[in-house]
Amino acid sequence: MIEMRNVSKTYANGVPALHSIDVVIEKGEFVYIVGPSGAGKSTFIKMIYREERPTEGSVFIQGSDIGKLKEKQIPYLRRKIGVIFQDFKLLPKLSVFENVAFALEVIEEPRDVIRQRVMEVLDIVHLKSKARFLPDELSGGEQQRVSIARAIVNDPHVVIADEPTGNLDPETAWEIMDILEDINRRGTTILMATHNQSIVNTIKKRVIAIESGRIVRDEWRGGYGYER
Ligand code: ADP
Ligand code: ADP
């Protein structure tokens, strides 16, 4: 499903971020990416949705080398990958419904299809009753749930989450994890970069640890393994 072969990344300013990464992530897995700040976690994640390109090696999504995609094919790749950020990145002037509907409007789905699908995903994140609210009328946890709904509305194969609980209080963070686990049980692969030690140590999943741009540990049902 996701495969990196000998992937290295050095940024344009000469900063090395990843070295010779080899990894395979199968369909349906739930994987934590852990490691100290600056280790390369975000860079690793950005390779998968082609926000950044490797300076060496290849990234394959469902067998196709995404480095070889033409510019106009990239939107199709992004539709297969839902992305969730620490700071939500919602459009502030659009309602919850409109924020989630946006990705479907872009591909010109019929209105009734859009309405049904948006309400379906708002149900998954328990926000049907807030469809008409604006983002700043919601708590942080609710805003993150909107961003999860937006990430899954196209029914992607993979959801990538970069520190999704980083701006949330502990209790709200656990609610977000319940929802991500639910989405994973429905068959979506999940990749989550996190600093949240108690989540990683409690909800046991595969753990890929990155340090100085290299994978230093890859364990099924691993632990966080770092002091903060
Ligand atoms: P993490 O997510 O683990 O904190 P990053 O992937 O963000 O790590 O960063 C890895 C390294 O690459 C760091 O040294 C960081 O400063 C550097 N880096 C990240 N993004 C850029 C960029 N756009 N340009 C130059 N260097 C970058
Ligand atoms: P949190 O504990 O995550 O900070 P809040 O205390 O901000 O949550 O919010 C609790 C409830 O009040 C949530 O259901 C949220 O939707 C609602 N709420 C918070 N701020 C507003 C607002 N400005 N307008 C309407 N509802 C709000």
Q: Would you write out the chain's pLDDT as a tens digit for each of its 228 residues?
A: 999 999 999 999 999 999 999 999 999 999 999 999 999 999 999 999 999 999 999 999 999 999 999 989 988 888 899 999 999 999 999 999 999 999 899 888 999 999 999 999 999 999 999 999 999 999 999 999 999 999 999 999 999 999 999 999 999 999 999 999 999 999 999 999 999 999 999 999 999 999 999 999 999 998 998 655
CA of 40 from ligand 1 middle (Å) equals 6
Mutate to test the pocket of ligand 1, among 9, 11, 44 (most ligand atoms within 8 A of CB): 11
Q: How far apart are CA 161 and CA 41, in angstroms?
A: 11
ipTM surpasses cut 0.85: no
Q: Quickly tell me which residue has 């604006």 as its tokens.
A: 134
The answer to whether 151 and 112 are in contact (CB under 8 A) is no
Task: Name the residue among 76, 51, 72 with its Cα closest to residue 62.
Answer: 76
Q: Which two tokens stand for residue 161?
A: 């989450």
Counting every residue written for the chain, the total comes to 228
Prediction pTM value: 0.87
Q: How far apart are CA 120 and CA 158, in angstroms?
A: 18
- Could you tell me if the CB of 138 is within 6 A of ligand 2? yes
Q: What backbone phi and psi angles, to 5 degrees, belong to 75?
A: -55, -35
